[in-house]
Structure 1
Amino acid sequence: MELFTANESPEKLGIGKANILIQPNHKAYGQLNKHAYFSQSYADLHARPFPVSNVPLRVSQVCFLHQEGDSQAVELAHLHELCHRYSVNPPLANASCFYQKMGEYEIRWERHTEFSSYTFLIHDSGLKPFDCPPVALVPIDWLEGISGELIAAVHIDALSEGSVTLERDHLRQYFEGQRLMGSELHNGEAIILSALRLHEDNFNRILLVNTSLNECQSGRVLRALLEIEAYRNMTLLAFPLAQQVSIKVSKMESQLAMLLKKQKDIKSSNDEQKQLAELSAMAANIAEIIASSRYRFDAGSAYYEMVRSRLAELEEKDINELQTFSAFIDRRLSPAYRTVLAAKRRLDDLSSRVDRASDFLRTRIDMAIEAQNQALLTSMDKRAQMQFNLQQTVEGLSVIIMTYYVLALCKYLLDASSSLGYTFNREVALTLLMPIVLISVWMFSRRIKNAVQKIAP
């Protein structure tokens, strides 16, 4: 589109130069200094997309719990082997997900923190629901070579509304006659049915009847159902551990009660030290249990919240008086989850009580030690006072002794003076000298004592 005619300039039309349309230079402002994770933060939003699915669709998913040594490289190498069999492009190095067409079926591999999921899809229907699941087409030797331990397995058949009879007794034949549960989704746009039990092939089965979902909505429902199956089983991994921890905590609570009861009868420091050693050993045992169970308890809580979130996405409504997935799973899963929370809470409470008991006992020991130190200081003070008194006595005796020796020397001098012809009374002279010498010696000793006190710290 032309902005101006050939004879009309912007100035003639009254348009300033600032209002002239300028083509943006994307290369200029698109090269700003970026954070290292700038692009990755946007790419992560679209990682592991849900499958865009049209009905009919058959799905099989197996989830394997990671064991020690089940690294990402091992799984990628195993996927490379399958790709080589079908002559397709293998996954990239360090990939955490992989989607590829393998002959008649499609594989979707996703590696999570604790498990990896392998989903197999066929975009058609069998002769009847669950008649020929996609996993049956995967080479059995390759399936058996997957690293880890199987934690979840489910078949999902997605059919159109007119391709199956929605009559309860008729539908039960697809679930080996077991009691069904089901619901309507998204205001009647789809129906899900399942027994939520393992069947003869050790897989759960879910039938999805699509009435008016588009391919994107159907893919999101399919993803939610697969995640509910995986996260539900991952949540329950914490339950047996919680039961074991509860038994240990009950025993240690009784042991702590006995130790606290014995504190009333403690009479000697040896008993205090012995009980403190028992409390320290119990605290170390509790710390070991916390270290070995806390991750599983926290992971179980996270998985439980994800199950609830995926169930909320389904927007279930009752149908034909059947129990909904949400009601059934919540009724079974919530008690296990509360058991995990109770075990975690009891363990933390026991740890706090042991710490308080240890602090109380340490306080008693510290007070006893302080009393002993006070008595020792009092005794040392008495001894110091005795030594001071003795020192003063010795100082007095020293002054007298030194005076005696000085007077003895003076006597020799007086005797020598008599022999030279000087006549005076020697006894009177010594008597007059005695106080002078005594005072002089005493002052001299005091001066030395004061000098030593100034030097001493």
Structure 2
Amino acid sequence: MTGKIQQGERNWQHSLREPMIDELHARPFLRLKAPCRLAYIALKPEQDGSHTADLSRAQLVAFLARFGAAPPDEDAVYHSADLGDMVLKWEHHSEFATYTLFGCKTVEHEDNFAHFLHRHFAAEWLNAFDGKIISSVTARIDLVPDETALDAHLSERAEDWFGVNATYSAAFVTDQSAAIAADFTTDKDGHMRIAMLANGGIGPGRTGRAMQRMLEIETYRAMSMLTLPVARHILGQLGRLNQSLSETVEAMSAKQRDAGESLEDLLHISSDLALLSARSAFRFSAARAYETLVRQRIELLREERILGRQMFAEFMKRRYSPSMRTCHSAHAQLEDISDRTAHAADLLSTRVSVTTAEQNRNLLAKMDTRAAQQARLQETVEGISVVAISYYAVSLLSYLLAPLTKMLPVSKTMLSAALVIPVALLVWTGMHRLKKRLIREPNGKIDKTQ
């Protein structure tokens, strides 16, 4: 018996094993052979959370239909299609979808970059769907004979590519087998420009990986910076809320207002903070994830300086990192004031609990005093009751036993006097036993304190 899995043994395999293996290969890298031109866009709806797989696929199907190409599979997250003199690569992500058009067979256009490819992303097609352009790149890949000519060729052509006195970043990448330059601004048509110079020793796979990392850097940068307006709005709101919280806590400390008013103020502050947190939580989380991807993609380029230009890592550290720090600061301040508000609410709750306990203690003391007064009054009433009942009992017994005075040498007055003490004792004993039966502990035992 060999170690190979037989057909009948597939039920031994976990149902998700093969899908997870397929996921590792779901987004293959581009394969680009210099010279080449490339047009790239990332589409995202204006409203967060409205990008769905159905929307993404419908937009792709409409694009392919314009070229008579077959649609992708129903559950596809990646699709590649040969459209004649160019190739389309499409990817579906959680918040956006990307379209990459590249032509590497012949490069005969006078256009320095790939504006002629961008024309295929027609306005009527874009307007028909909710997905809007969040990132747009036009790129060129040129073949240079050897690596010693990379810097010279870049120096000669950069002015034509990016304009006179243009500020662009550039670096050797992939162990100096290629050089990449980008200006991270938009041209008159709204595209960011990327130029890549590849020597003859670099293959299509490495060329494609380097270019795709640049495209991902630009896309993830754009997606992460969607959080910046949210962060600025939150920082503006936090100033007002922080002032309100400080005034409320100060009033609580000085006891300038009652607990009800302080609680009402804290509830307003807490509700505003909860609303800000609910509206921004997704964007803050996404910003952290995208920022991590940007830094990882830059590291994978393995940059080395060329022509003394600013490298991509340096550009991002100077221009991109401050924006992300603003987002992180807004998130941290939001969490901080939320914690301080919760702490103030706990202090108010403690204060109310202490006040309530003191009031309850005073109330119980008053109830004890009243109970003692009632007990003394009850004892007084009980004594009077014994006397009254005994008086009537002696009177009745005197009338009942009056005939005996004729047979015994006892007057009626002496008989009545003799009856007073035993009758009073019997009345007092009877009332005491009745009191015991009426006043008992919950378990049925007599309350010994009574």
The TM-score with structure 1 as length reference comes to 0.89
Q: 1:279: how far off? A: 1.1
Structure 1 residues 70 and 331 mapped into 2: Cα distance closer, same or farther (>3 Å)? Answer: same
Cα-to-partner distance string for 1:47-103 (whole Å, 9 max, x where unaligned): 111112211111111111134555322332333233333222111113222211123
Q: Which moved more, 1:49-58 or 1:159-168?
A: 159-168
Q: Select between 279-288 and 409-418 the one with higher mean Cα deviation.
A: 409-418
Counterpart check, 1:331 vs 2:310: no
1:36 is aligned, of 6, 9, 15, to 15
Which amino acid in 2 is paired with 1:436? P
Residue 194 of structure 1 aligns with an amino acid whose one-letter code is A
Match of 1:218 among 193, 201, 207: 207
CA contact (8 A) 1:63 1:151 kept: yes
TM-superposed deviation, 1:23: 5.7
Sequence identity (%): 26
CA distance in 2, matches of 1:131, 1:406: 124
Which residue of structure 2 aligns with residue 152 of structure 1?
135
**Do the aligned partners of 2:398 and 2:415 also contact (CA within 8 Å) in 1?**
no
Alpha-carbon distance in 2 for matches of 1:376, 1:337: 58
Question: In structure 1, what is the equivalent of residue 86 of structure 2?
Answer: 105
Q: Distance in 1 between matches of 2:5 and 2:351?
A: 75
Q: 1:377 aligns with which of 358, 364, 383?
A: 364
Residue 429 (structure 1) aligns with: 415
Aligned to 1:5: none
2:224 aligns with: 235
User: What is the alpha-carbon distance in structure 2 between the residues aligned to residue 131 and residue 378 of structure 1?
Assistant: 89
Partner of 1:58: 37
The equivalent of 1:341 in structure 2 is: 328
Match in the other structure for 1:403: 390
After superposition, the Cα gap between the structure-2 partners of 1:26 and 1:331, relative to the gap in structure 1 and judged at 3 Å, is: same
Q: 1:83 aligns with which of 39, 64, 83?
A: 64
Is the 8 Å Cα contact of residues 45 and 132 (structure 2) preserved in structure 1? yes
User: Which SS does the other structure have where 2:185 is aligned?
Assistant: coil
Moved more, 403-412 or 173-182: 173-182
Deviations 1:109-157 (A, max 9, x none): 1111111111111113234531654222454432443432211100111
Partner of 1:451: 437
Counterpart of 2:65 in 1: which secondary structure? helix
Match in the other structure for 1:245: 234
Superposed CA offset, 1:171-227 (max 9, x none): 211123322320101221000012221011110010010113212111111210110
In structure 2, stretches of 5+ residues that fail to align are 444-450
Alignment size in residue pairs: 433
- One-letter identity of the residue aligned with 2:249: L
Q: Which amino acid aligns with 1:413?
A: L
Counterparts in 2 of 1:45 and 1:398: CA distance versus 1, 3 Å: same
Helix, strand or coil: the match of 1:443?
Answer: helix
- What is the CA–CA distance in structure 2 between the aligned matches of 1:92 and 1:381, rounded to whole Å? 82
**Inter-partner Cα distance in structure 2 for 1:127 and 1:455:** 105
Instruction: State the AA in 2 paired with 1:193.
Output: A
What per-residue deviation string (whole Å, max 9, x for no partner) do you get for residues 372-391 of structure 1? 11111111111111111111
Aligned to 2:298: 311
1:315 Cα offset (Å): 0.4
1:151 counterpart SS class:
strand
Aligned-residue CA RMSD (Å): 2.2
The 1-side partners of 2:194 and 2:129 are apart by 24
Moved more, 83-92 or 43-52: 83-92
